[in-house]
Amino acid sequence: MTDKDLRDRIKEVAVKQFNANGYYGTTIRNIANEVKCSLPMIYYYYNNKKELFDEIIKKDFFNVVKKQASHLKSDNIIDLYTKFIYNLNALSDYEKLVYRLGIKVYLSFDGDEELMNLMDEWEKSILPRHREILKSHTKNLDNEKAIVRTLVHLLETLIENIVVKNRYLPEDEIREEISIVLQGCVAK
Amino acid sequence: MTDKDLRDRIKEVAVKQFNANGYYGTTIRNIANEVKCSLPMIYYYYNNKKELFDEIIKKDFFNVVKKQASHLKSDNIIDLYTKFIYNLNALSDYEKLVYRLGIKVYLSFDGDEELMNLMDEWEKSILPRHREILKSHTKNLDNEKAIVRTLVHLLETLIENIVVKNRYLPEDEIREEISIVLQGCVAK
DNA sequence: TCCTTTATTTAACGTTCGTTAGAATTTTAT
DNA sequence: ATAAAATTCTAACGAACGTTAAATAAAGGA
């Protein structure tokens, strides 16, 4: 913690403050105070406030998301999604806050238009990706489209509960809810 | 629109700007500019910035929520929830923005601790309320708790889609998703 | 050792912020 | 018509903002 690069410590504190007070509620001075460095050091490592914010979303947020999505593997689809969500509990505090800030931008509660467009693009990839996963794990369904939509909607609130509201969700509760949505896809 | 009380017009513009730029990103000057009144007029009708923000949440947001919840009546449970969500599409732009700001506070993306506590209290009432509705509309179920939880989770994302992301959700898509979650509760 | 590069600081810049004092105007009641 | 009350304005206050200039300190290689 104390030996970490000052640049990383600045970003870590920034993530905390952007989360708590938003972009405009966060000041370079407050960041510097919490990092215990002088104010211009922020400008030594980052060109300006916006660039600091942008790097958190563009680099760190999408890294967390990609890392988490890479664990989407299992032959049992209910297991697969249960673990996908349950693993979020184990993210580090920093990763959770980065994820949370990303969701804030995703809902356009913070950030600017450029970041919003990035999020829009990312969002478009969600439904097709889960449709493929579902297709490869289940028999053909007539209401496949609706099930994928419902599943993704459910996943979204589960993620929000863990990451945004910072709550722990037990594995069996996650499994129950996913099973209810996928009960038509899966042989008992 | 032009004949409305200045006090209301100020609040209307404030809702718009608090939504777009957050509490700290919104300035009294910007509000006054968009309202086309002088800056101290805001202070003539509201003691300060925080009081303006608080009134939007404490009064207007909970009014919208209560008004919407009052329509939760029907003998068919799938119809009931479908209409509950579908009706959100018909909210006025102002009501939607008020609702959106409330959700922002609910997720503690804006506002202060006091408002957050209000939201926590409100949240606690959600699950029991829907449990009662479900109980009165369906036969006894073994996994009733899980179904209520899943339903409420699904409702939350549907609300977010309409109110936060400002998208139109067609009635049949809403019905499909609610049916998937409630398929175990309802006789075909 | 001295010089160059890297890291960090103090101090300030112009701007904008929330808020208020105090005067001018408009409306209302008598 | 006139006095009182309600509304609106111009102008300013001190504080905090993002950002930068310029000086100092530390580190590393010749």
Which residue type sits at B146? A
From the CA of A7 to the C1' of C12: give the distance in Å.
25
Q: What is the mean pLDDT of residues B123-131?
A: 95
CATH no. for A60-182 = 1.10.357
**Which chain B positions have a beta carbon within 8 Å of A181's beta carbon?**
150, 180-181
**The two structure tokens encoding residue A15:** 């993530």
- CATH number (3.40.640.10, 1.10.10.60, 3.90.1150.10, 3.40.50.300) of B1-46 reads 1.10.10.60
Report, as ranges of residue numbers, the positions in chain A whose pLDDT lies below 70: 1-4, 187-188
From the CA of B28 to the C1' of C24: give the distance in Å.
22
pLDDT value at residue A188: 47
pLDDT value at residue A2: 42
**Which chain B positions have a beta carbon within 8 Å of A177's beta carbon?**
146, 149-150, 153
CA distance B102 to B81: 21
pLDDT value at residue B185: 80
pLDDT value at residue A79: 95
Q: How far is CA B153 from CA A121, A165, A169, A181, B157, in A?
A: 25, 13, 13, 12, 7
CA A105 to the chain's CA centroid: 10
pLDDT value at residue B187: 58
pLDDT value at residue A187: 57
Question: Are B165 and A107 an interchain contact pair (Cβ–Cβ within 8 Å)?
Answer: yes
Total Cβ atoms within 10 A of residue B14: 24
Question: Are B181 and A180 an interchain contact pair (Cβ–Cβ within 8 Å)?
Answer: yes
Model confidence at B1, in pLDDT bands (50, 70, 90)? very low
Q: Which position has the higher pLDDT, A137 or B55? A: B55
DSSP state at residue A120: H
- What share of chain B in percent tops pLDDT 70? 97
Q: Which position has the higher pLDDT, B186 or A96? A: A96
User: Would you call A48 an interface residue with chain B, using a CB distance cutoff of 8 Å?
Assistant: no
DSSP state at residue B50: H
What's the pLDDT tens digit per position in B7-22? 999 999 999 999 999 9
- Angstroms from B24 CA to nearest CA on chain A: 5
**The two structure tokens encoding residue A16:** 């905390």
Q: What average pLDDT does chain B have? A: 94
pLDDT value at residue A1: 36
Covered bases, chain D (protein CB within 7 Å): 7-12, 16-22
User: Would you call A24 an interface residue with chain B, using a CB distance cutoff of 8 Å?
Assistant: yes
Domain positions in chain A are 1-46, 60-182
pLDDT value at residue B2: 43
Q: Which position has the higher pLDDT, B138 or B46? A: B46
pLDDT value at residue A141: 76
CA distance A181 to A150: 7
Name B71's Cβ contacts closer than 8 Å, sequence gap at least 6: B83, B84, B87
Q: How far is CA B52 from CA A40, A90, A174, B28, B93, in A?
A: 35, 39, 40, 10, 19
* Terminal-to-terminal C-alpha distance of chain A: 49
Q: How far is CA B61 from CA A113, B100, B110, B131, in A?
A: 26, 9, 14, 23
CA distance B25 to B71: 35
From the CA of A38 to the C1' of D22: give the distance in Å.
15
CA B116 to the chain's CA centroid: 15
User: Would you call A25 an interface residue with chain B, using a CB distance cutoff of 8 Å?
Assistant: yes
User: Would you call A165 an interface residue with chain B, using a CB distance cutoff of 8 Å?
Assistant: yes
- What share of chain A in percent tops pLDDT 70? 97
**Which chain A positions have a beta carbon within 8 Å of B165's beta carbon?**
107-108
